[in-house]
């Protein structure tokens, strides 16, 4: 009885070739994922808080420019700091008074957090 020299696993060579190709691809994917850490919220806590504070101040300024009351601004943005919203609102109020600017009324009715539009008269 003669033995053949055929490999008991003919697919082993194909898998080995894929591993040689797959390792650099896996490394590249890992580098890209690490580059996107900013999107995952892996920044220092102070940097996240500074960004949220700046966002809330911008919202407050936009509310003041649009002629919205502070209470409306708080209602439309419950996830933001009320103190930062007020700071932005006050800064925009001072800026508008110094430069004699008028309010820019929004053309679209704002949406409440529940998803329903606010009535125009309230």
* pLDDT score of 81: 94
Non-local (6+) Cβ contacts of 89 within 8 A are 60, 61, 63, 64, 70, 73
Q: Is residue 8 one of the residues assigned to a domain? A: no
Q: Is residue 103 one of the residues assigned to a domain? A: yes
Q: Is residue 14 one of the residues assigned to a domain? A: no
pLDDT in tens, 30-88: 777 777 666 666 778 888 899 999 999 999 999 999 999 899 999 999 999 999 999 99
Q: Is residue 19 one of the residues assigned to a domain? A: no
Domain count, the chain: 1
* pLDDT score of 61: 95
Instruction: From 101, 98, 117, select the one nearest 109 (Cα to Cα).
Output: 117
Average model confidence (pLDDT) for the chain?
79
Q: Is residue 5 one of the residues assigned to a domain? A: no
Structural domain harbouring 122? 44-122
Q: Is residue 74 one of the residues assigned to a domain? A: yes
Q: Is residue 53 one of the residues assigned to a domain? A: yes
Q: Is the pTM of this model over 0.75?
A: no
Contact 51, 80 (CB under 8 A): no
Give how far the C-alpha of residue 37 lies from the chain's centroid of Cα atoms, to the nearest Å: 13
Residues 98-117, mean pLDDT to the nearest whole number: 77
The more confident residue out of 95 and 122 is: 95
Instruction: From 31, 90, 85, select the one nearest 54 (Cα to Cα).
Output: 85
Q: Is residue 99 one of the residues assigned to a domain? A: yes
């Amino acid at each position: 009885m003669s033995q053949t020299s055929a490999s008991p696993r003919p697919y082993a060579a194909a898998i080995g070739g894929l591993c040689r190709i797959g390792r650099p691809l896996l490394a590249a994917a890992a580098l890209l994922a690490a580059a996107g850490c900013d999107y995952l919220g892996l920044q220092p806590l102070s940097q996240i808080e500074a960004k949220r504070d700046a966002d809330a101040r911008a919202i407050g300024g936009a509310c003041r420019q649009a002629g919205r009351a502070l209470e409306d601004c708080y209602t439309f943005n419950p996830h933001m700091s009320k103190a930062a919203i007020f700071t932005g609102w006050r800064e925009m109020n001072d800026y508008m008074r110094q430069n004699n600017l008028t309010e820019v009324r929004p053309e679209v009715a704002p949406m409440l957090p529940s998803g329903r539009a606010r009535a125009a008269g309230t």
